[in-house]
Amino acid sequence: MTREFEPAYLSLLRSGELKKRVELAQIHMKNCDLCPRYCHVDRYQGSQGAICRTGELAVVHSFTPHHGEEQPLSGWTGSGTVFFSHCNLRCLFCQNWDISHKGMGVETSTEKLAGMMLSLQQLGCHNINFVSPSHVVAQIIEAVLLAAEGGLRLPLVFNTGGYDSIEALGLLDGIIDIYMPDMKYADADIAHRYSRIKEYPTINQRAVKEMHRQVGDLILDEQGIAKRGLLIRHLVLPNRLAGANELMAFIAQELSKDTYINIMAQYHPCYRADDHPPLDRPINQHEYLQAVEIAHRHGLHRLD
């Protein structure tokens, strides 16, 4: 990128569309369809999502510069992560189960959430990275409006488990600069068995296609820092449970062979994985290298 970068949401701020998105998201919250669980509860009347257990206010576990994300995000000053508690998935091997399942964190107003973003910008972070955001889309949009009015100028990262509704993504169109979804499973039965989720591959692939339509392939600046685009994460699981071949074929054929992908090798048993073989063991080197080979075989070359 040679021209000066401007995050997408600033255009919506100037046109007044960002404020309209806040109002529209609030309507969705009254009959919540902002994740594919489609609970349809009124989260302004004290009701919580059936799985996310989150009501009107987002619950935040932490916000801090993070130096362990992908290099295009972390750079040298860190990715400004805002880590939300709770989740719309129920992975039996979750490495952050105390946050995602138990909900450790503090209920946070949109004003405070906006302040967190501005604080991370002041610390010099390269971006604002919303971690596990799928169930708090409305709160994020409202906080982005307040932060943008207060001087926020960083790209926004939507760091998601990949189980996202088309309704939520429509609200985020033109707000999010970088989508970073997981593609966890290619097989619906395996997804249901280990993450207690129905139709994950169908919903996940539909969502990722929409993300790519909105932002395209990942664009880096002259210093290698991500500014806009799609970055996919794929966690290799024991016994090829994640379905790398099917997912890499989907990415190559339905998205782009220039898609930036992080094939992750860090799986190790957590939470309840010990009770669910073969998730009770780490992956081996052969399983990881096989997934990388599969990606190359499908013509995918931008591997983190």
Is the residue at 153 inside a domain?
Answer: yes
Greatest pairwise CA separation for the chain in angstroms:
53
> What is the model's pLDDT at position 123?
97
Is the residue at 56 inside a domain?
Answer: no
> What is the model's pLDDT at position 2?
45
> What is the model's pLDDT at position 1?
44
> What is the model's pLDDT at position 3?
62
> What is the model's pLDDT at position 9?
97
Number of continuous H segments (helices) and E segments (strands) in the chain:
11, 10
Domains in the chain, number:
1
Is the residue at 268 inside a domain?
Answer: yes
Q: Is the dihedral of CA 158, 263, 217, 255 positive or negative?
A: negative
Is the residue at 217 inside a domain?
Answer: yes
Strands (E), 68-216: 79-84, 106-108, 128-131, 156-160, 178-181
Amino acid at 296: H
The span from the first CA to the last CA of the chain, in angstroms, equals 19
* CATH number for position 163: 3.20.20.70
Is the residue at 4 inside a domain?
Answer: no
C-beta of residue 230 within 8 angstroms of C-beta of residue 212: yes
Is the residue at 58 inside a domain?
Answer: no
> What is the model's pLDDT at position 297?
98
> What is the model's pLDDT at position 185?
97
Half-sphere exposure of 171 (CA within 13 A, CB side): 29
pLDDT along the chain (304 residues), means of 10: 80 98 96 94 89 93 95 97 95 90 91 98 98 97 98 98 97 98 97 94 98 98 96 97 98 98 95 94 97 98 94
Is the residue at 78 inside a domain?
Answer: yes
Alpha-carbon distances, residue 117 vs 15, 32, 152, 283 (angstroms): 22, 25, 7, 36
Domain range spanning residue 197? Answer: 9-51+63-303
> What is the model's pLDDT at position 173?
98
Is the residue at 57 inside a domain?
Answer: no
